[in-house]
Homo-oligomer: A and B are copies of this chain.
Amino acid sequence: MFADRFNGITGSAIRDIFKIIAVPGMISFAGGNPAAEALRSDVLADIARDVLLADGKRILQYGSSEGYAPLLEEAVKFLRERGVEAAAENILPVSGSTQAIDLLCKALINPGDTILVEDPTFLGATQTMRLYQANLVPVALDDCGADIDALESAIIKHKPKLVYLIPTFQNPTGVTLSLERRKAVAALAAKYDAYIIEDDPYRDLRYAGEPLPPIHSFDKSGKIIYLSSFSKLISPGLRVGIMTCSGELRRKLVIGKQSTDIHNDQLAQAIVAEYLKRGLLPPHIEYICGLYGERMNAMLAGLAEMGIAHTAPAGGLFVWCSLPEGSDALELLNRAVKKNVAFVPGTHFYVNGGHAETLRLNFSNSSALMIERGMSALAEALAE
């Protein structure tokens, strides 16, 4: 009775884990949520009121699928400051990067078409792609991001419609694609005329080192689609992200948007626009980087003490761990939950599962003290 696209789709594999973390007293390293302290309800309450009083008749009326004009204006500047050149008419507001991926699949993917993804990768993205019956082909990544030789071979072999990369502080691993590889990816896009999705929501969450230019800044082919999101910077509850796009692809994305929800909620667009316009983002980023950086360091210290192999991110929200061979992170989770600490087993992030020894830890949503306690509990669970 249901559509074939749901064959084998059972919903987010980590759904049950999110029920676990709702248990009071649970220290959660499982989600990818911003810290409560990072959500400025007081500031946003005033902005919400101000934009409705200033431009309410436009905000509350039907708007354009192409986006609320003041947000587009601010988005041009926001992207330029991050090395992404795009005119307002080449930016499409979306309700988070998830919708960007959904619309890209809608525009480009027939059942069986190939999408190359880093392995492991963000499981929300792969669920969206699977609902378009895409053929997901994993590309290995190491501490410098996606393996370029593997990527090129896969492009040649599979002629993908899309390549999906999270180059900066990747979810789930926290690794960052090196400068050389960024240039190489842009060159591959031009050489093979392949669309690359550069999903970059964590770029501004850097706690050490210097930012790298986005792949998009090396784009000579017009094939790099840059996704950004205000979920990690201002609020995920507002569901506002932006994507770059041009030409006939943009036309298809706009029609897709029109057919999916007509347009983004305009109040959320107006709030984000005004927040940016008032210059509130740079100091806020400084604040949350201080907060999250401390938390990341607490977690890395705990891991060092436990002697577990892990990635060494310089930002983002996640650390990726590999237990000794033969370990099972699912079993560890069961023991850990009894000690009131939760995380996501790494297997869920792999296109074809496996890798039972891996796990993802989030540090943004617990205080340094809680992280210390949680890591001790995890060490105990591991010792059992």
Contacts and interface: CB of A to CB of B under 8 A. Distances in A.
Given A238-B267, A268-B267, A59 B31 contact: no
A96 B264 CA distance: 10
B259 A261 contact: no
B238 A60 contact: yes
Contacts of A102: 259-261
Nearest to A100: B261
A52 B56 contact: no
A60 B33 contact: no
Copies in the complex: 2
A99 interface: yes
B261 A239 contact: yes
Interface in A105-125: 105-110, 113, 124
Contact of A258 (B12, B59, B255, B261): B12
A262 B98 contact: yes
A56 B31 contact: no
Contact of A39 (B49, B57, B94): B57
B48 A36 contact: no
A11 B254 CA distance: 8
Contacts of A249: 2
A98 B259 CA distance: 7
A39 B61 contact: yes
A63 B258 CA distance: 24
Interface in A15-71: 31, 33-34, 36, 39-42, 44-46, 48-50, 52-53, 56-63
Contact of A62 (B31, B105, B263): B31
A1 interface: yes
A302 to B, nearest CB: 25
A106 B264 contact: no
A127 B59 contact: no
A113 B2 CA distance: 11
A162 to B, nearest CB: 11
A82 to B, nearest CB: 23
B61 A260 contact: no
B34 A61 contact: yes
Contacts of A56: 39, 41-42, 44-45
A35 to B, nearest CB: 10
Nearest to A234: B60
A49 B50 CA distance: 9
A41 B62 contact: no
28 contacts: A3-B105, A3-B106, A3-B108, A5-B110, A6-B252, A6-B255, A11-B251, A12-B255, A31-B62, A36-B57, A39-B56, A40-B60, A41-B52, A41-B56, A41-B59, A42-B53, A45-B52, A62-B237, A95-B262, A98-B259, A98-B260, A131-B256, A238-B265, A238-B266, A239-B263, A240-B265, A264-B265, A268-B268
Given A3-B105, A3-B113, 5 more contacts: A2-B108, A3-B106, A41-B60, A128-B259, A238-B267
